[in-house]
């Protein structure tokens, strides 16, 4: 079995991943869904990343596609914790770094303290 980090954060796109990686201090894995997930693609993610046996966090945009994806992931991964960005920012990628860092830290994900000022 491949060694994984304990935590995995699921996001929609590459710009979301970049924004999260910028503020994170721990080596949690961030995976992109690239939008909606079909059954086959989800099963592939489930197996490839061993999502049933890891601490999973869902962080998606507060727009219609993001909300649909959150609902789908909630059904498939009931053990996952949810991280929300304010609807004022709508997108993970456009959420200010200090706000994003505070949300991640609130879920026990280590962030660079410079972003918590």
> For each of the chain's 117 residues, which pLDDT tens digit applies?
345 578 999 999 999 999 999 999 999 999 999 877 888 888 999 999 999 999 999 999 999 999 999 999 999 999 999 999 999 998 999 999 999 999 999 999 999 999 997
Q: How many domains does the chain have?
A: 1
User: In this structure, what CATH number is given to the domain that contains residue 46?
Assistant: 3.40.1360.10
What is the rounded distance in angstroms from the CA atom of residue 111 to the CA atom of residue 101? 6
113 CB-near residues (< 8 Å, 6+ apart): 25
In a domain, 112, yes or no: no
Range of the domain at 49: 7-107
């Amino acid at each position: 079995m491949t060694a994984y980090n304990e935590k995995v954060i699921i996001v929609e796109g590459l710009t979301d991943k970049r924004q999260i990686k910028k503020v994170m201090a721990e080596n949690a894995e961030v995976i992109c869904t690239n939008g909606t997930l079909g059954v086959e693609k989800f099963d592939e993610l489930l197996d490839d990343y061993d999502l049933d046996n890891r601490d999973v966090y869902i962080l998606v945009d507060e727009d219609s596609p993001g909300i649909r994806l959150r609902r789908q992931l909630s059904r498939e991964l009931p053990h996952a914790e949810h991280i929300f960005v304010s609807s004022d920012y709508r997108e993970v990628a456009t959420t200010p770094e200090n706000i994003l860092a505070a949300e991640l830290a609130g879920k026990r994900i280590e962030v660079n303290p410079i972003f918590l000022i």
